Chains A and B, each alone.
Chain A
């Protein structure tokens, strides 16, 4: 069983559409990160959220951390072909013994068609 469940697994949309992808868990996380990964490359950090209910914006991307710090969402407005990639969420569980041990979801593969 995945600690972090990401949905949908695959998403294919047209340029200009909006989309939301989700990262859910039954565990509480002290922090959660979103990464974007292109084929053959390492993940690139987009944002870190640490406070329940926190909302962060990065241009057309809006990230939200759930109030209970168990889930997160990523919303993209007016998607562009350059947004294509694998979107990964990762987090550290709240227990102190888990410091330094990030768990990743299996990601959402996004394809934006021109």
Chain B
């Protein structure tokens, strides 16, 4: 399978705990995106990387959210001190952008479903 993969698929945690999700993009893709999706809504953009550079992070929901892509391949999204409102599906997508400003098509992973008790 050469698609985008995410791990874990499901995570249940208690309020106040930290969680980390992993995303492995399609191997030749240089861009990687994180989204959050709540029930009844479309995905909400959080942040994205071009190779290892994080080009946009102003839409991360709070300073409890952080993302890394240290070697320009896989990425992690961490949520510290989780709150019940963080319960959602966290989606990762990747794309192959020709230039820093080019339009590209994103391919999504299956998502990580987070439940905060």
Contacts and interface: CB of A to CB of B under 8 A. Distances in A.
B59 to A, nearest CB: 8
A104 B103 contact: no
A96 B40 CA distance: 30
B109 A99 contact: no
Nearest to A2: B42
Most buried by A among B42, B104, B107: B42
Interface stretch (B12-20, B78-86, B94-102): B94-102
Most buried by A among B55, B93, B101, B106: B106
B71 to A, nearest CB: 20
B43 A43 contact: yes
Contact of B105 (A40, A42, A48): A48
7 contacts: A35-B108, A90-B42, A90-B43, A96-B101, A101-B48, A102-B33, A103-B45
B42 A88 contact: yes
Interface in B23-78: 31, 33, 35, 40-45, 48, 50, 55-56
A99 B103 contact: yes
Interface range on chain B (Cβ under 8 Å from partner): 20 to 34
Contacts, number: 69
B103 A42 contact: no
Contacts of B104: 100
Nearest to A29: B103
B102 A99 contact: yes
Nearest to A41: B110
B106 A45 contact: yes
B11 interface: no
Interface string A36-65: 000011111100101000000000000000
Contacts of B103: 30-31, 50, 92, 99
Contact of B43 (A50, A99, A104): A104
Most buried by B among A30, A40, A100, A104: A100
B22 to A, nearest CB: 15
B115 to A, nearest CB: 13
A96 B103 CA distance: 9
B78 to A, nearest CB: 20
B41 A100 contact: no
